[in-house]
């Protein structure tokens, strides 16, 4: 049976269901509002259902939309995973490295990879630490920039550190204490099936406080977009926040929330590009 689903339309539905605003969703998708409206209407007309209902503040999912959204999100997640898996298999060769990185390592990667990238092809994958660990063990990844690994099959060296910070919209900041915002505003967190070390660290950092948490199945950039639009506030690694966000305020914790980042590899693999990269990185770190 020929599949008639358009993945671009499904992703637009997912984004609009999160942001509840055609303007914010179109901006997030880098398309015009009329183009987004056309995509949604095309999906609704083709399938004979109404996914969204307009209201005074934007849009909400209809009853049919609420029935569909979890399946749409799952379908998109599987499509992205499959595409990445196919890409890794098709591109993997002796002349390439597959490198995973997390939100806190984005600032260091360009400097670390610029010189080595002239010698060998490097493909990057934006993955949380627990997924990097799984793929390092399976062989889908060659190198990881991540938290300290758990598996005894993986070796690591410390390369950097980061810290958790509060991220508030400028319009929300009224000079109150952080406890005030925790009690009265929604704490937006990424829903990741409970495996994320970042979420565990966040919960530990505010364990003595009262708070209202709200899990959202999305990514860090979308969470920041929601914070910018006064939907709530969040807690993130400082290095994961780009400098071009002008509508947010970053506030450090009063207590230590720092954590270490590591270069990680599977010590059971004997693959020359991996060994060369580790040797290069050790020299780079010693020099720094």
In what helix (H) or strand (E) does residue 90 lie, and over which residues does it extend? helix 63-91
Span 75-109, pLDDT tens digits = 999 998 888 888 766 655 546 789 999 888 877 78
Domain with CATH 1.10.10.10 in the chain: 7-87
Q: What is the CATH number of domain 163-258?
A: 3.40.190.10
Q: Give CA–CA dist 253/152, Å, rounded.
A: 33
Q: What is the CATH number of domain 7-87?
A: 1.10.10.10
CATH domain 94-159+260-287 topology: D-Maltodextrin-Binding Protein; domain 2 (3.40.190)
- Dihedral, CA of residue 138, residue 276, residue 160 and residue 166, to nearest 10: -50
Phi and psi angles of residue 41, each rounded to the nearest 5 degrees, phi first: -65, -40
Q: What's the pTM?
A: 0.62
Q: Give CA–CA dist 256/268, Å, rounded.
A: 35
For residues 195 and 211, the model is more confident at: 211
DSSP 167-206: EEETTT--S--HHHHHHHSEEEEE--TT--HHHHHHHHHT
Domain with CATH 3.40.190.10 in the chain: 94-159+260-287, 163-258
Alpha-carbon radius of gyration of the chain: 21
Min mean pLDDT across 44-53, 168-177, 243-252, 256-265 is at 168-177
229 pLDDT more than 90: no
| Average pLDDT of the residues in 9-32 | 92
E-strand ranges in 5-74 read: 52-55, 58-61
Quick one: pLDDT at residue 92? 55
Min mean pLDDT across 67-71, 209-213, 284-288 is at 284-288
Quick one: pLDDT at residue 10? 92
Number of H helices, E strands in the chain: 10, 11
Which of 210, 184, 201, 212 shows the shortest CA–CA distance to 236? 201
């Amino acid at each position: 049976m020929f599949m008639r689903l358009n993945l671009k339309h499904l992703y637009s539905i997912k984004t609009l269901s999160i942001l509840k605003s055609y303007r914010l969703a179109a901006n997030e998708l880098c398309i015009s509002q009329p183009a987004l409206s056309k995509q949604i209407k095309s999906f609704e007309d083709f399938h004979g259902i109404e996914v969204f209902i307009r209201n005074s503040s934007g849009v909400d999912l209809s009853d049919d939309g609420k029935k569909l959204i979890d399946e749409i999100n799952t379908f998109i997640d599987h499509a992205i995973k499959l595409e990445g898996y196919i890409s890794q298999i098709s591109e993997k060769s002796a002349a390439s490295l597959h490198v995973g990185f997390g939100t806190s390592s984005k600032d260091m990667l360009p400097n670390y990879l610029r010189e080595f990238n002239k010698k060998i092809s490097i493909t990057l994958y934006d993955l949380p630490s627990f997924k990097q660990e799984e793929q390092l063990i399976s062989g889908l990844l060659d190198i990881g920039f991540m938290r300290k690994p758990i598996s005894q099959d993986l070796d690591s060296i410390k390369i950097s550190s980061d810290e958790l910070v509060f991220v508030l919209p400028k319009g929300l900041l009224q000079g109150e204490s952080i406890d005030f915002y925790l009690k009265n505003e929604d704490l937006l967190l990424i829903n990741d099936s409970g495996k994320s070390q970042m979420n565990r660290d966040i919960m530990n950092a505010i364990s003595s406080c009262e708070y209202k948490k709200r899990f959202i199945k999305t990514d860090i950039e979308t969470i920041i977009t929601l914070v910018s639009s006064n939907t709530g506030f969040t807690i993130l690694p400082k290095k994961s926040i780009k400098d071009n966000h002008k509508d947010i305020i970053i506030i450090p914790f009063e207590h230590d929330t720092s954590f270490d980042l590591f270069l990680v590899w599977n010590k059971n693999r004997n693959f020359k590009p991996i060994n060369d990269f580790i040797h290069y990185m050790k020299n780079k770190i010693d020099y720094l």
